[in-house]
Structure 1
Amino acid sequence: MKFSVLASGSTGNSIYVENGQHAFIVDAGLTGKKMEALLAQIDREAKQLSGILVTHEHSDHIKGVGVLARKHNIPVFANAKTWEAMNSSIGNIPLDQRFEWKTDEVKTFGGLDIQSFAVSHDAAEPMFYTFQEDGRKLVVMTDTGYVSDRMKGFISTADAYVFESNHDVSMLQMGPYPWKIKRRILSDVGHVSNEDAAVAMSEVVAEKETQIYLAHLSKDNNMKELARMSVSQTLESCGIRAGEFLHLHDTDAEKPTPLVLV
């Protein structure tokens, strides 16, 4: 199993996952043209995709879904409430490409088990995914206001994480956003901060080689260096030193991370 964070941030999000027999993207939050260009940077093509797994209906996660699906005849998977919420935004998808994926449901594709699980975000029924094959586990989880014990049960002891580290609380509080937006981001249905992300990480990682990709960084309320420093310091306060068995990686809103083996 291999993956790449194609893009992650306020302007668009997509993660590529393959297992040799099948290939998927989790969300397509950039234009179809941009999605094709990002895939090309890791030597992959949209026509190779077995499906698009949608997490929720916000535009930075679905902008390219309709175009890619129609152009390349790609199946699209989402739960019923997300389908209802995004129908008007993605345009017509042929019935034979529309598939329902219920929250907390496992689907298997050629030995790759994909489990959906609920998160806490201000969308119709947001959910993210774990990928497991041959004892290896990848977790994709962004866009949640907090990490509940139930979520921790789904995501614990993975070998790799794409994990939300959205904002620095001080930057957000002192920044130019209207108070209504700040309150929404800081709420239980908003986004987790660098520090809250690190605390959650400390409670789910196992003492083995673990790769964590800090994802969905706010363009206005975070910076890569700040996110890494804050997460590292908070992990250390929880008794985990980044770099020993746990390794932190940046993601980018404009370019993909290298395709790596889980």
Structure 2
Amino acid sequence: MSPGDDFQPRGPAERWLDAVFDGLTGTGSGGRRALAEMEDHLRDSVGDGIGRGLDRAEAERDAVARFGSPERVARGIRSAHRNLLRPLLTGTWSLAAAAALTVGISTTLTAVLTIVIDGHLDRGVCVMVSGTSPPHPCGAGNAYYLGAEGLALVGVGLFILGALALLYPCTAEHAIAWLPRARSLLTIAVLFALASLYLLGTPYTTFVPQYRAESILLPIACAVVATSAGVLVPVSMARLQRRLVGRQIAQPS
């Protein structure tokens, strides 16, 4: 047993650890593991001080001084373990995924029904976006149906993205191995957001600009951006948290 295996009761080291513990409220198991590792490093540091000829109280004060203030240490650990935000992030994630599924199903059905039902001709004219607008020749109407086909692809993409977002927490715990990893999901989200904006914007702005303000381009584009952000932000924060935890553990005592 080394000389630094036991701290003085209510000595400098114990008081320092208690102060750090008080500052780690809400960090959960990550904070507990970090505190246990710091305690081991603190014991080693106290043992080194005693080995240099310091008495136990002096060795503990020296070790604590080298670790820094407990407030600063606890603040650094909290920044790497934001468990207090977990319920909010989980709720936001679930809401974004449910919204993606809902909008995806609605968009797909609307686009398909538009192509199938409204695609029929009536006396040589085509049904247009706005029911109050006069009918236009079929040449102009074809642009709308092109837009509906693109909209159907967007709806399917939103549905897939929402399903992946709902299942991703299982992937993070390796419960379902066949789902994409975090990096793949990030790539899917970015590419889908860009492709969705292109599919939505091109048919309307190129062929029927007069209906741009009346179309559903803006709300669907906003839904695409919001859904992609709902995937990007939590995944990015999870990756950043793991990186910060790794740096915290790797820091020398």
Q: TM-score range by the shorter chain?
A: under 0.3
| Structure of greater Rg | 2
Structure having the larger proportion of residues in strand: 1
